[in-house]
């Protein structure tokens, strides 16, 4: 098929939701319907179920996911990470970034349209409640324009009340992922007076979520989201995006009864524009900054194509290159291969780090201000401070042993008990025969045991007389 003219790029000079005076243009998208919208609904039900179940799912007594930035404790898939695991977290973060880049290079903004919590909550929860209370886009517009009367007061109050309630639920959910469900339960059951900070956070986040979903809406994707802003550098002409096949659709023209059609397949019905939640016209070109690849325009256009007896897919998932050249979209490009290689290396490094990670981490330092003591048998004693971090969810009574020298270790005071997810601190003497020392400053290696299991080792200095 001979390719026809691609639309101009003038639309890229401004965003669709801001007018010439810099004022917000409120988007009233028509209620979407269609096969892809149904699939998106099922995916969102599944993801919402997982999101709400997440805080209650525990692995070895630890939550599935907890990102407690306040106490600097992070649990990912039931594995507890401390700031001491910073290195692993950096590699995990890099792996995630490369995965996101790779995914975006290949599949564009599929994440935004199908998985992103912002889209799911806005399009599948808040927007549907809005349709249920205020009606479809034309009724919403009319309601906003009418003066305040009983109908408007009732509808707007009902919507605000339901939106606030859901925002409060989301705020609880969000906090459950930060402080854990057990702490959240305490905030709820023990009352606000005993948990002023927690309760204050709940209310503050409720306000933020309400504002985002009731007012700020698509501006999150258009202005704030860093992932959205980076699309331009990650996508290329081979990336799969929601695209309008201008070769087939142009020149567009209204359908006129009884007249032989000389134009392209686009009948300029504007249905694709009316359903767009970010207020753009996909026919302006693929990879528009505001397009979250939600597929609503695909469904709308497919509906029209069926009605006028044309093949579906005038708007479809396709790469810009495929639209331009008519060639089939291909997954294997040199860019994808490069990112895949880097991802494979990072994943190998991450797996190795996780598999070789100790259950505990010990820091042993000689007690400041102390030299060494000589015993009656001529042995040398050094005093040490020990601090051990537990990366598991069970208590561990600890014993210490010298690994590379013969000698004894005596803990001062009570037995060292390492609490679950906690820290144990103690003081101990190490005693070594003078003849076993290599000089005034010998290296020694100490093993930390839980029963017979060596859980971590650490090296430190041992002071002695000059031999």
The encoded tokens of residue 229 equal 């802003």
Handedness of CA 188, 193, 199, 204 (dihedral sign): positive
Q: Smallest Cα–Cα separation from 432: which of 413, 404, 455, 407?
A: 407
Question: In whole angstroms, how close is the CB of 21 to ligand SF4 at the nearest point?
Answer: 24
Residue 208, judged by CB atoms within 10 A of its CB (0-12, 13-18, 19+), counts as middle
- The residue among 44 and 295 lying less far from ligand SF4, judged by its C-beta, is 295
- The residue among 74 and 244 lying less far from ligand SF4, judged by its C-beta, is 244
Question: In whole angstroms, how close is the CB of 320 to ligand SF4 at the nearest point?
Answer: 14
Question: In whole angstroms, how close is the CB of 290 to ligand SF4 at the nearest point?
Answer: 7
Question: In whole angstroms, how close is the CB of 234 to ligand SF4 at the nearest point?
Answer: 17
Q: Could you give the angle at the alpha carbon of 27 between the alpha carbons of 25 and 30, nearest 5°?
A: 155
- The residue among 270 and 375 lying less far from ligand SF4, judged by its C-beta, is 270
CA pair distance 435, 33, nearest whole angstrom:
85
User: Are 39 and 299 a contacting pair, CB within 8 Å?
Assistant: no
Question: In whole angstroms, how close is the CB of 340 to ligand SF4 at the nearest point?
Answer: 27
First-residue to last-residue Cα distance in the chain: 92
Question: In whole angstroms, how close is the CB of 13 to ligand SF4 at the nearest point?
Answer: 18
- The residue among 15 and 296 lying less far from ligand SF4, judged by its C-beta, is 296
Interface residue list for ligand SF4 (CB under 6 A): 242, 244, 249, 252, 266-272, 275-278, 280, 282-283, 291-297, 300-301, 304, 314-315
- The residue among 112 and 389 lying less far from ligand SF4, judged by its C-beta, is 112
The encoded tokens of residue 46 equal 């599944």
Q: What residues does 410 pair with on adjacent strands?
A: 429
- The residue among 75 and 275 lying less far from ligand SF4, judged by its C-beta, is 275
Rg (CA), the chain: 31
The encoded tokens of residue 60 equal 């070895």
């Amino acid at each position: 098929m001979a390719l026809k003219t691609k639309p101009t790029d003038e639309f890229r000079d401004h965003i669709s939701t801001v007018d010439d005076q810099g004022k917000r243009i409120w988007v009233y998208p028509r209620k979407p319907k269609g096969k892809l919208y149904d699939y998106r609904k099922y995916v969102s039900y599944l993801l919402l179920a997982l999101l709400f179940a997440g805080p209650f799912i525990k692995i070895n007594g630890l939550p599935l996911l907890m990102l407690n930035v306040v106490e600097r404790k992070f649990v990912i898939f039931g594995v507890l990470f401390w700031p001491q695991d910073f290195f692993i977290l950096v590699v995990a973060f890099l792996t995630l970034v490369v995965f996101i880049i790779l995914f975006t290079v290949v599949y564009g903004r599929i994440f935004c349209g199908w998985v992103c919590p912002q889209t799911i909550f806005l399009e599948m929860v808040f927007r549907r409640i809005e349709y249920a209370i205020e009606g479809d886009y034309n009724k919403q517009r009319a309601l906003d324009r009418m003066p305040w009367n009983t109908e408007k007061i009732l509808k707007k109050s009902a919507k605000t009340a339901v939106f606030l309630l859901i925002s409060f639920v989301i705020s609880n959910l969000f906090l459950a992922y930060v402080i854990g469900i057990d702490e959240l339960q305490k905030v709820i059951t023990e009352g606000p007076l005993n948990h002023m900070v927690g309760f204050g956070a709940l209310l503050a986040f409720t306000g933020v979520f309400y504002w985002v979903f009731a007012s700020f809406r698509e501006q999150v994707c258009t202005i704030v989201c860093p992932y959205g802003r980076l699309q331009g550098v990650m996508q290329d002409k081979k990336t799969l995006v929601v695209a309008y096949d201008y070769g087939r659709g142009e020149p567009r023209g209204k359908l006129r009864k009884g007249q032989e059609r000389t134009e392209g397949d686009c009948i300029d019905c504007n249905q694709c524009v009316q359903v767009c939640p970010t207020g753009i016209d996909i026919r302006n070109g693929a990879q528009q900054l505001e397009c979250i690849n939600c597929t609503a325009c695909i469904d709308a256009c497919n509906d029209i194509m069926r009605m006028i007896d044309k093949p579906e897919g005038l708007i479809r998932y396709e790469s810009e290159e495929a639209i331009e050249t008519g060639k089939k979209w291909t997954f294997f490009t040199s860019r994808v291969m490069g990112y895949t290689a880097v991802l494979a290396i990072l994943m190998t490094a991450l797996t190795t780090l996780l598999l070789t990670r100790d259950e505990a981490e010990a820091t042993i330092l000689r007690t400041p201000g102390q030299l060494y003591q000589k015993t009656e048998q001529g042995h040398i004693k050094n005093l040490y401070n020990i601090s051990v971090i537990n990366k598991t969810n069970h208590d561990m009574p600890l014993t210490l042993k010298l690994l590379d020298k013969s000698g004894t270790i005596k803990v001062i005071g009570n037995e060292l008990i390492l609490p679950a997810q906690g820290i144990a601190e103690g003081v101990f003497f190490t005693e070594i025969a003078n003849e076993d020392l290599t000089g005034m400053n010998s290296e020694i290696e100490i093993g930390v045991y839980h029963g017979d299991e060596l859980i971590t080792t650490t090296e430190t200095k041992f002071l002695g007389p000059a031999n």
